[in-house]
Chain A
Amino acid sequence: AQSVTQLGSHVSVSEGALVLLRCNYSSSVPPYLFWYVQYPNQGLQLLLKYTSAATLVKGINGFEAEFKKSETSFHLTKPSAHMSDAAEYFCAVSGGKTSYDKVIFGPGTSLSVIP
């Protein structure tokens, strides 16, 4: 079975500062991992995904995430926060391609960017 935890339901950063959103997962099989972003009054959009290729994954809008098997982590980072990054971020896991449809979402982290 798979599960996801996200440390911090709310994170605030100053504009231009590093963004770090934490995600830890558990999986009984090699996982596929995802980060999604949700802007107000919209559905989720995929930021990036890990599918057992490179451990450092680059996504849209300058975000990247590193898969660390030893730490069972997939933290999301961005070197310099923009005001437009304020949104809800969800980490998600599935048990690989064969169970891709059974994507389990974390509870989400709300990111605020302070001018």
Chain B
Amino acid sequence: DADVTQTPRNRITKTGKRIMLECSQTKGHDRMYWYRQDPGLGLRLIYYSFDVKDINKGEISDGYSVSRQAQAKFSLSLESAIPNQTALYFCATSDGDRPQHFGDGTRLSIL
């Protein structure tokens, strides 16, 4: 089983819809992250969380919100999806002093 699991793996939806992407981890790490990947731009940090009570904005948090329901779960929401949020989204974890471990990504298309 994967250490970092993202659901769904693929999602197609319409402009204006509310979308939730979920991430769960079995590594026991305190720190969790949400990135989006766009061609030619690499990965950009949306939000990160150091523990259940500590959530921080990243480079591109506008239009997104997150919830850290438990140490192992970190979800990303798009309250009202727009086409330029079409991207590949990655969840990652770390224990602060080790490389970040990534899920396999969620491919989100907004029509």
Chain A residues engaging chain B, CB cutoff 8 angstroms: 4, 9, 34, 41-46, 49, 90, 97, 100-103, 105-108
Residues of chain B within 8 A of A4, CB atoms compared: 42
Q: Chain B binding site: helix, strand, loop or mixed by DSSP?
A: strand
Residues of chain A within 8 A of B100, CB atoms compared: 44, 46, 103
- 17 A-B pairs with C-beta separation under 8 A: A34-B99, A42-B104, A43-B4, A43-B92, A43-B105, A44-B43, A44-B92, A45-B102, A46-B99, A90-B43, A100-B94, A102-B45, A103-B45, A103-B100, A105-B44, A107-B41, A108-B40
Is the pair B97, A105 in contact by a Cβ cutoff of 8 Å?
no
Residues of chain A within 8 A of B90, CB atoms compared: 43-44
Q: Which of A43, A90, A97, A103 contacts B97 (CB 8 A)?
A: A97
Chain B residues engaging chain A, CB cutoff 8 angstroms: 4, 31, 33, 40-45, 48, 50, 90, 92, 94, 96-97, 99-100, 102-105
Is the pair A106, B96 in contact by a Cβ cutoff of 8 Å?
no
Is the pair A107, B40 in contact by a Cβ cutoff of 8 Å?
yes
Residue of chain B at shortest CB distance from A45: B102
Residue of chain A at shortest CB distance from B59: A104
Task: Tell me the minimal C-beta distance from B58 to chain A in angstroms.
Answer: 9
Bound-state CA distance A103–B31 (Å) is: 13
Bound-state CA distance A93–B41 (Å) is: 15
The list of the 5 closest CB pairs from A to B, nearest first, reads A43-B102, A105-B42, A46-B99, A105-B43, A44-B102
